[in-house]
Amino acid sequence: MLQATNIRKSYGDLAVLRGVDLSVQSAEVVSIVGKSGAGKSTLLHILGTLDRPDAGRLTIGGEDVFEMGNKRLAAFRNERIGFVFQFHHLLPEFTALENVCIPGYIGKRDQQATERRGMELLQYLGLANRASHKPGQMSGGEQQRVAVARALINEPAIVFADEPSGNLDSASSQELHDLLFRLRADFSQSFIIVTHNEELAEMSDRRLEMCDGILV
Ligand SMILES: Nc1ncnc2c1ncn2[C@@H]1O[C@H](COP(=O)(O)OP(=O)(O)OP(=O)(O)O)[C@@H](O)[C@H]1O
């Protein structure tokens, strides 16, 4: 599903990524841990095509992403990649359903089909009765599940999550972690998750550690 080879990135004299290799299969959940400043977010942004490396190759679903121009890459990102961040970044003036559907609207997908899938996802996540609520009317755990539905609306090849439970209490964290594994089981969804949560890292198929600019 994803193959990264010899990914390198420096900021000035600071070599943050020194040749990262990673391959992720369909329906695989991979966690990346490591101390603060180790380069985890830098790597996740590059694998998620939000940033370009200084060197290295990345294929997602067989497509060589850094060979694409910016416009094509933006369309590819919209269609094939989902993101879940620590802070859900929902738009406060839109309902839960509208927030979930935004990547579908941006990708100019059929509006009715997008909204039908959005409702199905909210139902799957136990949020059907929150569809017309705005983020401010929902709990932190509910908002983060809406963000997960938004990540899934375009049926991405892979979902990247940066500290997805970092801002949740322990019960909501547990619920979110269970949800990720349910999505893997039911939809063969692949995830790459940066986390400081050891419980989540231990549940994953592989727990990798960023250390001296490489993954071990
Ligand atoms: N745009 C940038 N310009 C310069 N230096 C940067 C930039 N982004 C990150 N860095 C530096 O690169 C290193 C890796 O940062 P990164 O955010 O990837 O670490 P991290 O492992 O995700 O840390 P944390 O666990 O604290 O989120 C840090 O030393 C950081 O200060």
CATH code of 206's domain: 3.40.50.300
Are 42 and 48 within 8 A, CB to CB? no
**Structure confidence by residue, pLDDT tens digits, 24-42:** 999 999 999 999 999 999 9
**Structure confidence by residue, pLDDT tens digits, 176-189:** 999 999 999 999 99
| Paired residues of 17 in beta bridges | 9
- Cβ of 9 closer than 6 Å to ligand 1, yes or no, is no
The pLDDT value given to residue 68: 96
Of 10, 14, 31, 162, which is best to mutate to test ligand 1, by the most ligand atoms within 8 angstroms of its C-beta? 14
Q: Which residue did the predictor score with more confidence, 114 or 88? A: 114
Residue nearest to atom 3 of ligand 1 (CA): 11
**Structure confidence by residue, pLDDT tens digits, 120-147:** 999 999 999 999 999 999 999 999 999 9
Helix (H) or strand (E) holding 193: strand 190-194
Number of domains in the chain: 1
Residue nearest to atom 5 of ligand 1 (CA): 11
* pLDDT band at residue 20 under the 50/70/90 scheme: very high
pLDDT at 107 over 90: no
- Return the SS3 of 175: helix
- Cβ of 99 closer than 6 Å to ligand 1, yes or no, is no
Average pLDDT over residues 77-90: 90
Helix (H) or strand (E) holding 141: helix 140-152
Average pLDDT over residues 165-169: 87
- Cβ of 48 closer than 6 Å to ligand 1, yes or no, is no
> Containing domain of residue 163, as a range?
2-215
Mean pLDDT of the chain: 94
**What is the crossing angle of helices 111-124 and 140-152, to 10°?**
140
Ligand 1 centroid – CA 196 distance (Å): 15
- Return the SS3 of 48: coil
pTM of the predicted model, to two decimals? 0.93
Q: Please give the Cα distance from 152 to 156 (Å, whole number).
A: 6
Q: Please give the Cα distance from 146 to 151 (Å, whole number).
A: 9
Atom of ligand 1 nearest to the CA of 34: 21
**Structure confidence by residue, pLDDT tens digits, 50-79:** 999 999 999 999 999 999 999 999 999 999
The pLDDT value given to residue 216: 93
- Cβ of 40 closer than 6 Å to ligand 1, yes or no, is yes
3-state secondary structure 58-103: EEECCEEHHHCCHHHHHHHHHHHEEEECCCCCCCCCCCHHHHHHHH
Q: Please give the Cα distance from 206 to 94 (Å, whole number).
A: 36
Of 11, 43, 160, which is best to mutate to test ligand 1, by the most ligand atoms within 8 angstroms of its C-beta? 11
* pLDDT band at residue 86 under the 50/70/90 scheme: confident
| Paired residues of 162 in beta bridges | 194
